[in-house]
Chains A and B, each alone.
Chain A
Amino acid sequence: MSALVEVDDLVVRYGPAVAVDGVSLTLGAGERVALIGANGAGKSSLLNAVCGVVRPAGGKVRIAGDDVTGKTPNHVVRRGLTQVPEGRQVFPSLPVEANLLLGAFGRSFRTEIATSTLRYLRRRADARERLERVYTLLPKLHELRDRPAGRTSGGEQQMVAIGRALMAEPRALAIDELSLGLAPMVVEQLVEFLHRLNDEEHVAILLVEQNALLAFDLCERAYVLETGRVVLQGESADIRDRPEVHSAYLGDGPG
């Protein structure tokens, strides 16, 4: 069974720094997989290379069997993988509903705008239906639909970003730093939601997280990154108590 997302030996460089040094991973359909590691371990660079934001210096990325290495994010979105970026990155001037609809528009987009717009307009009914579904999954968004996204709280923005990604009808969701800057209670609610999403909609989840404990709670499998390499991988239950994970997050022993 070929996985939904396959990454082979990926290399990402920024000038002299090698951010990702030959990483391979897989995400199966409907799976929940975590990428954990300290700041600067290369997690975000890896995600950005997979999603087409940066061009990898080496290696391959396949989504549902199609080679998307080095292609634009639009290609990746159309193959079924959307990213919820670090820091949410909503469109602050636009109301929440517009943010969401743009998620669908992006999915209809090709290289050329006229046909893309026509395609979107023809499928408007579908987009509206999808919007209703997202509102059902995230009722708070319905409440906030006319509010400029810039005037919502951090947790609400995270919901907007997730909702926007869901509008593209993804088979897999890549989330970059879910818990960043959010209160623990809010994070808990989001984790619950993602669990349900995965159960009900069978959307696979690739979660990049600094908070290892949270990642293990949500995801069945995990890869631990350190300075651009995978140092440990396996079932969350097996590896969560391993010393490598502990020392990465909690330091060495007492004092």
Chain B
Amino acid sequence: MAAASSSLPAETTRQPACELSGVTKAFGAVKAVDDVSLDVAASSLTCLIGPNGAGKSTLLGCISGLHLLDSGVVRIEGRDVTRWPPHRRARHGLATVFQTTRPLAELDVLDNAAVGAHVRSRTGFVESMLRPPWQWREQQRVREEAREALAVIGLEDRAAHPAAVLPLGQLRLLAIARALAQRPSVLLLDEPAAGLRAGEKAHLVEALRTLSRRGLTMVLVEHDMQFVGALAERVVVLDRGRVIADGTPAEVRNDPQVVTAYLGSTTL
């Protein structure tokens, strides 16, 4: 697949991978997300930025199904998923990496990644207990797919390590591998770079670029402007639950509304 140049807009003939119309979510009296409408083009990489409390994580939660909307519609690949619970959305191609995703400490790295392949397998309770031959075959296939996911992200040599001993950067990658094992069409990431060292961030940028080249649609929430600049084709800026800017990183960085909202009173 040809590398997507960061400044080309996505093809307009293909249906958007994700569409939000009039999405509103309030917690008590405060509107965390206020009438947000957004189209995410297929195979694009979009970053959601904004000051703390702007509603970025909440918006991601609305797309992934964690939050029930007060109003509005969410569509994934044309399907209206507004009323669907998270696991159903996952079965239809949506993968989410939350900030809080912890590894399963009792399992090794490969098994952790294999959790994501849950949607690609079918063995139920009874079969798991009885272990018929087809269950074994399915397990093998799942492990292979998990291994592939680890390879894409660069963790395959750690497959047999217990997950508990990984440093934070690799735990983050593992969480992404788990999401990749779902073979999603849309990947949501909530602050994947948070707490990472410079080297780990660089590695993550590379990994995400690889995924983008392979055509995976991604939406990231991020704080780290350097990270965003290196990666995003499109930046959407939220402030107090509303979209205040939408464009390339350069356009957004120079938008005076963004500067005021994000960077505070500036004397620069």
- Interface status of B53 (Cβ within 8 A of chain A): yes
Q: Taking A210-B52, A227-B198 as contacts, is the C-beta distance between A252 and B166 under 8 angstroms?
A: no
For the complex, give the distance between the alpha carbons of A252 and B53 in Å: 24
Nearest chain A residue, comparing its CB with the CB of B230: A252
Q: Which of B78-86, B115-123, B135-143, B245-253 contacts A (4 or more CB under 8 A)?
A: B245-253
Partner of B265, one of A18, A181, A184, A252: A184
For the complex, give the distance between the alpha carbons of A16 and B109 in Å: 15
Nearest chain A residue, comparing its CB with the CB of B264: A211
The answer to whether B263 touches A255 (Cβ under 8 A) is no
Q: Find chain A residues with CB under 8 A from B260 CB.
A: 184
- Interface status of B87 (Cβ within 8 A of chain A): no
- Interface status of A40 (Cβ within 8 A of chain B): yes
How many chain A residues sit at the interface, stated as a range, is 20 to 34
- Interface status of A39 (Cβ within 8 A of chain B): yes
Q: Which of A51-59, A101-109, A157-165, A242-250 contacts B (4 or more CB under 8 A)?
A: A242-250
Partner of A39, one of B166, B223, B264: B223
Q: Give, as a whole number of angstroms, the nearest-CB distance from B12 to chain A.
A: 23
The answer to whether B52 touches A250 (Cβ under 8 A) is no
The answer to whether B264 touches A179 (Cβ under 8 A) is yes
- Interface status of A213 (Cβ within 8 A of chain B): yes
The answer to whether B264 touches A40 (Cβ under 8 A) is no
- Interface status of A214 (Cβ within 8 A of chain B): yes
For the complex, give the distance between the alpha carbons of A42 and B197 in Å: 11
Nearest chain B residue, comparing its CB with the CB of A19: B195
The answer to whether A251 touches B168 (Cβ under 8 A) is no
For the complex, give the distance between the alpha carbons of A248 and B263 in Å: 12
Contact with A along B143-159 (1 / 0, CB 8 A): 00000000000000000
Q: Give, as a whole number of angstroms, the nearest-CB distance from B84 to chain A.
A: 31
- Interface status of A188 (Cβ within 8 A of chain B): yes
The answer to whether B225 touches A255 (Cβ under 8 A) is no
- CB interface residues, B 148-204, toward A, < 8 Å: 164-168, 171, 191, 193-198
- Interface status of A180 (Cβ within 8 A of chain B): yes
Contact with A along B234-268 (1 / 0, CB 8 A): 00000000000000111001100000100111111
Partner of A255, one of B167, B168, B250: B250
The answer to whether A250 touches B225 (Cβ under 8 A) is yes
Partner of B263, one of A39, A249, A252: A249
Q: Which of A18, A213, A251, A252 has the most CB of B within 10 A?
A: A251
- Interface status of B224 (Cβ within 8 A of chain A): yes
- Interface status of B226 (Cβ within 8 A of chain A): yes
Q: Find chain A residues with CB under 8 A from B52 CB.
A: 39, 177, 180-181, 210
Q: Which of A39, A214, A254 has the most CB of B within 10 A?
A: A39
Q: Taking A39-B194, A187-B264 as contacts, is the C-beta distance between A17 and B168 under 8 angstroms?
A: yes
The answer to whether A214 touches B265 (Cβ under 8 A) is yes
Q: Find chain B residues with CB under 8 A from A249 CB.
A: 225, 263
The answer to whether B265 touches A188 (Cβ under 8 A) is yes
The answer to whether B268 touches A213 (Cβ under 8 A) is yes
For the complex, give the distance between the alpha carbons of A184 and B254 in Å: 19
- Interface status of A217 (Cβ within 8 A of chain B): yes
Nearest chain A residue, comparing its CB with the CB of B250: A255
- Interface status of A31 (Cβ within 8 A of chain B): no
- Interface status of B229 (Cβ within 8 A of chain A): yes
For the complex, give the distance between the alpha carbons of A30 and B50 in Å: 34
The answer to whether A213 touches B53 (Cβ under 8 A) is no
Q: Find chain B residues with CB under 8 A from A169 CB.
A: none
- CB interface residues, B 44-74, toward A, < 8 Å: 51-53
The answer to whether B195 touches A40 (Cβ under 8 A) is yes
- Interface status of A38 (Cβ within 8 A of chain B): yes
For the complex, give the distance between the alpha carbons of A19 and B194 in Å: 11
For the complex, give the distance between the alpha carbons of A227 and B228 in Å: 17
The answer to whether A227 touches B53 (Cβ under 8 A) is no
For the complex, give the distance between the alpha carbons of A187 and B264 in Å: 9
Contact with B along A144-180 (1 / 0, CB 8 A): 0000000000000000000000000000000001011
The answer to whether B264 touches A184 (Cβ under 8 A) is yes
Q: Find chain A residues with CB under 8 A from B226 CB.
A: 247-248, 251-252
Q: Can you list 15 residue pairs at the A/B interface with Cβ under 8 Å?
A: A16-B165, A17-B167, A17-B171, A18-B168, A19-B195, A39-B194, A39-B224, A40-B195, A181-B53, A184-B264, A184-B265, A187-B264, A217-B267, A249-B225, A251-B249
7 closest residue pairs by CB, A with B: A255-B250, A40-B194, A251-B225, A40-B195, A181-B53, A211-B264, A39-B223
